[in-house]
Amino acid sequence: MIGLSAGHGIKHFGQGALVLISPHIREAMMLSEVAFGGITTSQSAASGVANVSSEPFGEASLVR
What pLDDT does residue 57 have? 61
Q: What is the pLDDT of residue 60?
A: 55
Q: According to the model, what pLDDT value does residue 2 have?
A: 83
Q: What domain range is 55 assigned to?
A: 2-63
Number of domains the chain is built from: 1
Please state the pTM of the whole predicted model: 0.60
Question: Alpha-carbon distance 21 to 62, whole Å?
Answer: 39
Tell me the mean pLDDT per 10 residues along the chain, length 64.
82 84 93 94 86 64 56
CA dihedral 44, 50, 56, 60 (to 10 degrees): -30
